[in-house]
Every structure is written in structure tokens, then in C-alpha cells.
Amino acid sequence: MPDFRTAIVTGSTSGIGLAVARALAEAGHAVMMNGFGDPDAIEAERATIENETGAPVGFHGADMSDPGQIADLVAATNAQFGQIDIVVNNAGIQTVAPIEDFPVDRYNLILAINMSAAWHLCRATFAGMKARKWGRVINVASAHGLVASPYKSAYVMAKHGVVGLTKTLALEGAEHGVTANAICPGYVLTPLVEAQIPETAAARGITEEAVIRDVLLASQPTRSFVQPGQIGALAAFLCTPAAAQITGTALPIDGGWTAH
């Protein structure tokens, strides 16, 4: 079998997904990027990764909250690369609010993007992986797929759901060369976390500096943020032959947070 595969990385125009896309391309895999943002900036990022790694890199702007657009993403990736071997479900959003004030439209969107999108994308790609006897599902869940924090009801629900999906697909793929694992990062200083600092300050009635010191990094015994590239490296490792027996796991990369 070839060492180089074809991957979709959802939500890869920013933060963790961008680092995963780069790491997979550096390992030689073709990558279909996805996500929102300024079209010129996305094209510049796509071209940079392609030029620097030599791996083919595409982009499709599917809104992962829409199953019809997820189907388009799958069709476009098959048309461009011929098959889909690696699916990295990474697109995600966050809202921080007490449940009694939690906006219902944000609840629905968080469940759609952070959880249901992974189910739809796996549903559309799993048969091909099984038929070719090789596949990797990598779900970027969260430490919040394993433990909870207050004011993140929808996010914690969705991430626990993704861990459940991961275990189920590990069992369905086990005899077909298809592994499924969840990566569970602690805090990574990406736009998603930067945006929740003022929301958390408001929900807890404390300053933004106190949120970073006493809420975010207080959870992580290392007292420092996880780096996006560290998550990219773990995702790339999960696609190597050395990781073929790692399946059904929820792998923390959280500076010791979930060891508490």
C-alpha cells in the first residue's frame, strides 16, 4: 500500500485544523482543507502548504453545519483526489453562557458543527475506507469530551458525543483496517479560545487576565497552552503504521488537566 494517503481536515483555515493540515501534508498526504475566512488569505495558506510540502492541497468551503454541503465536500474531494482515506473532524465553535441564558440558536449550531458534522462526514466516507482496508478517523474532541466545565453545556455535550462516535466507529472499522481516535486537547491559544475570554469574564464576573490565569491555565498543571503543532504531530502519528493498533481511544494532550 502507498504511504501517502488522501485526507479531509475540516475547519483547517485556522488554529488546530490548519496545523493538522500542515502536518499531514508534511507527511506526504494529499489534503483537502475546509473552513471559513477571507478567500485570498485561505488561498495563500493553501498554496504555501502545497509549495512548502510538495503534497497536493485543495480547499472546499463547505459549511459543516449543513449535511448537503458536507456531501459536496466529499464529492469534490473524491473528484480531485480519487478517494478519501483520512478524515479529521476538527471544525468547531464555542459559546460560553449559563444554561438558563444559553441562546438556542447557538446550542443548535454547536451540536451541528462540533458533533453531527463528524457523523455525516464519517457516514459518507467510511464505506470507502473499509473497502480499501485502510482508513483513519481522527476526531478533534477536547478535554471537554472527558470532563466538564461550567457554562459550556452545549460544547461539553457535543464533545462527549464525539468521543462516543469515536468508540463506535473503532468497533465498526476494527476488522477492516480502519481506526478511529479522538484527540482531546486542553487549552490551545487559537481564535476560538481568544473569543471566549471576554465571554468567560462576563459569565464569572472576573477580569480577562483572571480568566487566563485562574480559569484557563489553572486547569493545566503545566501552566502553559498546548501548541497547535503538537496536535498536528499527534494526528500525523495516528496515520502511521506504528499507530495501527491504537483505536477507540480519547487521547488527552492537555498538560495534565484530566489527570486531576
- Residues assigned a catalytic role: 155
Q: Does 190 bind ligand NAD (CB under 6 A)?
A: yes
DSSP assignment string, 81-128: HS---EEEE---------GGG--HHHHHHHHIIIIIHHHHHHHHHHHH
Report in angstroms how near the CB of residue 84 gets to ligand NAD at its nearest.
17
Judged by CB under 6 A, which stretch of 45-53, 122-130, 188-196, 239-247 contacts ligand NAD?
188-196
Nearest CB to ligand NAD, comparing residues 39 and 191: 191
Q: Does 137 bind ligand NAD (CB under 6 A)?
A: no
Specify the DSSP class assigned to residue 10. Answer: T
Q: φ, ψ for residue 46 (rounded to 5)?
A: -60, -50
Q: Does 86 bind ligand NAD (CB under 6 A)?
A: no
Judged by CB under 6 A, which stretch of 7-15, 38-46, 174-182, 238-246 contacts ligand NAD?
7-15
Report in angstroms how near the CB of residue 177 gets to ligand NAD at its nearest.
26
CB 57 within 8 A of CB 31: yes
* Cell 499507530, residue located: 243
| The one among 23, 27, 32, 35 contacting ligand NAD by CB under 6 A | 35
| Helix, strand or coil, per DSSP, at residue 36 | coil
Report in angstroms how near the CB of residue 52 gets to ligand NAD at its nearest.
19
Judged by CB under 6 A, which stretch of 79-87, 171-179, 183-191, 239-247 contacts ligand NAD?
183-191
Q: How many residues bind ligand NAD (CB under 6 A)?
A: 30
Q: Which of 200, 175, 117, 167 is nearest to 209 (CA)?
A: 200
| The one among 5, 7, 29, 34 contacting ligand NAD by CB under 6 A | 34
Instruction: Label residue 31 exposed, middle or buried (CB < 10 Å: 0-12, 13-18, 19+).
Output: buried
| The one among 5, 7, 15, 23 contacting ligand NAD by CB under 6 A | 15
Contacts of residue 115, defined as CB under 8 A and 6 or more positions apart, other chains included, come to 157, 158, 159, 161, 162, 165
Residues forming contacts to ligand NAD in the complex (CB under 6 A) are: 10-17, 34-37, 63-65, 90-93, 113-114, 140, 142, 185, 187-188, 190-193
